[in-house]
Amino acid sequence: MKSAVIVFPGSNCDRDAHDAIERVTGHAPAMVWHQESELPDGTEFVMVPGGFSYGDYLRCGAMASRSAIIPALRAHAERGAPILGVCNGFQVLTETGLLPGALMRNAGLTFICEKAPLTIENGNTQFTSAYGGQREVVFPIAHHDGNYFADAATLDRLEGEGQVVFRYANNPNGSARDIAGITNARGTIMGMMPHPERAVDADHGGTDGLGVFESLLGSA
């Protein structure tokens, strides 16, 4: 699978994303600088990594969503090719409008870093199919603005269409309906606050995150 990771100034999980993708797919992803206007030819999967793009100034993900690379990301999305946004990447995807809703400041107002137990609400997406019957996973979270918000109608639609993919077992940040990760209506784009790429190694954070990348590889 040919992958790419977009790098903004202030991205800091780009290396983690790179290594996780390489570990699972056997191929190192292209690291695409935000000022590029094209993804490398033949890119099948794009990951928008975590971090603090543009220092989280103005609003998390807001400035990154206006970067030069974003039109190429939109084109990739329109083709129905998979995109995964994690943490700040999720914030960037909501700011671009590729995913519905917004991420607000955590309900407790402090940054939270912990291992978050999650339930897989939809195991039939191209991001979760490899989990088989497994319903429970633990991914690390590390964010200040992970409190997912959308209006009631949007939330109902997300639930009704199976777009809620991950839910927190113990809601850490006040997210509406315990939502930790969602897809777009076509199921081709997933955004999530927890970090699957930090859970691909028994020596660091466990291996529960492997399934996300294995699912993508399986459906590619």
Question: Per rule CB under 8 A, is residue 34 in the interface with another protein?
Answer: no
Using CA atoms, how far apart are residues 186 and 132, in angstroms rounded to an integer?
Answer: 21
113 is catalytic: no
Residue 19 vs 161, nearer CB to another protein: 19
Q: Tell me if 7 sits within 8 A of 17, measured CB to CB.
A: no
Burial of 8 (C-beta count, 10 Å sphere; 0-12/13-18/19+): buried
CA-nearest of 40, 51, 46, 66 to 6 is 46
Q: How far is the CB of 196 from another protein (least distance, A)?
A: 11
Question: Per rule CB under 8 A, is residue 197 in the interface with another protein?
Answer: yes
Question: Per rule CB under 8 A, is residue 144 in the interface with another protein?
Answer: yes
CA-nearest of 185, 2, 205 to 97 is 185
Q: By CB under 8 A, what part of segment 74-103 binds another protein?
A: none
Q: In this chain, which stretch among 12-20, 97-105, 153-161, 179-187 interacts with another protein, using CB under 8 A? A: 12-20
Question: Per rule CB under 8 A, is residue 170 in the interface with another protein?
Answer: no
Residue 182 vs 200, nearer CB to another protein: 200
Q: How far is the CB of 217 from another protein (least distance, A)?
A: 19
78 is catalytic: no
C-alpha 112, offset from chain centre: 17
Question: Per rule CB under 8 A, is residue 20 in the interface with another protein?
Answer: yes
Question: Per rule CB under 8 A, is residue 36 in the interface with another protein?
Answer: no
Q: In terms of DSSP H, where are the helices of 101-220? A: 152-160, 210-219
Residue 93, number of CB atoms within 10 A of its CB: 30
Sheet holding 112-120, edge to edge: 30-33, 3-7, 45-48, 83-86, 189-192, 179-183, 164-168, 112-120, 136-143
Question: Per rule CB under 8 A, is residue 145 in the interface with another protein?
Answer: no
Tokens of 176: 């509406």
121 is catalytic: no
Question: Per rule CB under 8 A, is residue 195 in the interface with another protein?
Answer: yes
Using CA atoms, how far apart are residues 19 and 27, in angstroms rounded to an integer?
Answer: 10
Residue 16 vs 214, nearer CB to another protein: 16
Q: By CB under 8 A, what part of segment 105-124 binds another protein?
A: 108, 110-114
Active site residues: 87, 195, 197
Q: Which residues bind another protein (CB under 8 A)?
A: 9-10, 12-13, 15-16, 19-20, 50-52, 54-57, 108, 110-114, 140, 142, 144, 195, 197-198, 200-201, 203-205
